[in-house]
Structure 1
Amino acid sequence: MSVTEAYDSAVAAGRLTRDPAQEGVLPELDRIRDALEHPVMTGFFRKTPLPVRGLYMWGGVGRGKSMLMDLAYSQIDVPKQRQHFHAFMQWIHAEIAAARKTGVDDAIKPVAAKLTADIRLLAFDEMQISDITDAMIVGRLFEALFAAGVTVITTSNRPPDDLYKNGLNRDIFVPFIDLIKDRMAVHELAAVTDYRQGRLAGTPSYFTPNDATARAAIAAVWQRVSEGHSTPLTLHVQGRTVTLPDYHNGVAAASFYDLCGKPLGAADYLALAAAVRVLILRDIPSLGRDNFNEAKRFVTLIDALYEARVQLICSAAAAPEYLYREGEGSFEFERTASRLREMQADGWGQVSS
């Protein structure tokens, strides 16, 4: 079945709502499917399939990019692999560390060889580059993938030219952007409807007091937006790893301790804000002199989320104005309380990235 036929079938069954922007990318997905399943052979005795140009789908959150990629992936019958980009980078870092222990001069080479050995299609969800180390590794790996004839389909909230935007030594990364545009068709999915936000419509965003009722309510929100799926999200930031325990399709869930009880800083929170569009934050305690360091991190986290217009859904010990009542920093917290109030407004975070 073609990808277009699979899409039409899902619409007819009521599982999808027909969307012109989504339909606009179906010919590209069918092109890839047909070319991979019916390859044009070349080389000595015509044993090598010609490379098939991949696809880079980008657009605002909740527009159906992941759904379309998964639909195509299910209809393409070749050796293949599908990974969330952050999970893929976590695997890559582990493989590079293992290769280095063997004493090789170039630890990326054996990892690239292992990755390209048995696949013809690699699908990535939510490509995002926030660290110079990841930027350099990804460039090398994609060169190896394309050289081996592997076709890549990826989704991203950003166009290729905005990957690792304003990053350290970004000029070193620019040739990789050119490689993407050369070896992959770039298609903006400019759908008007944010289907993910539809699942959050009318949902309260601030639950207090942080009792059993609040915990049950916030767990129900996570269940609704995650659709029962969850994987950890690991970010690589300036040589460190930051892990959120639950992640699905642009939505992350974590506790206050996960993000503010550990020695994280502005760079970590900026990377988090760039990687997610909705954050569900559980169990924000009362703040004061007894947890001053955690409170400072919380202020930095809220600033990063606010500037990136990430939607925040949280449970807390008290209303924003009463979270930080005494001690050093309570006066400065008034701005954070104001931002927390503003972030509860209808439509917050619905601006496309």
Structure 2
Amino acid sequence: MFELMGTPQPLTVVAKELAREVRVMCFDELFVTDIGDAVILGGLLQVMFEEGVVLVCTSNQPPEKLYSHGHNRERFLPAVAAILKYMNVVAVDGGEDHRLHPGQLHQRYWVAQAGQPSALKGIFEALSAGQPVHDSQVMLGYRSINVVQHSDTAVWCRYRDLCEQPLAAMDFIALCDRFSVILLSEVPPLSAAQREAKIARGTEDGVEQVTAGDRELPQLSPNDDGVRRFIALVDECYDRRIPLYVEAPVPMDELYTQGYLSFAFRRTLSRLQEMQLERFTET
């Protein structure tokens, strides 16, 4: 996309290039929470359908529910219409979460005890036995992040240094590329009161300016930027089968109980729960 800056209709160009290279494209767990993603995905889908690309998607929501309460959702509605026009929707919900099937437990989540040392200290020492241990910053590409400690295989970070910094999914990919185990301590309770906000005409996110009056933004809480990054971190660890050890002052099911990201966090919670099983690293 950066290479196409200044190009008229860059999404059309990207979609047509993809269509020349692939005839079938698969999206696993399609989900939209961000206006930028909604606009980009909507533009790509429509052109790819027109170019004859076959799309196969899984999602936890039917098409008409995608981005259902999102900011300026009307921009995504043409994509929903295209999905319904070009794709067959098949319900495959078996009524249960396979991640919660019973199995041998392997604790990777701790509730922090006030005034007590972090439980992750002993975990890190065991995982790093026989390796040099450092407390210096870790470089991820051109970024450096503060860590509690790291060895050749394990890294121990604080939530504020990983999820409250301007990091993106690519940074978490780099983190998983470098380390085979990740520990995350000082994770706060993530729920917080939502706050209303408005955006002035012409100041919306660079995808396309608002042209008709002020618009309301999603009711985000002060914690939700960090929550988005936490979700991205869990997703990357889950997809790579990287064990993620977490310490927080509340039980796992109380981490995020209300807010704009509640639906998205349900999957995160399910993935964290599966990480508490021995089989997580065996599949």
TM-score relative to the length of structure 2: 0.49
Going by fraction, where is strand more abundant, 1 or 2?
1
TM-score relative to the length of structure 1: 0.40
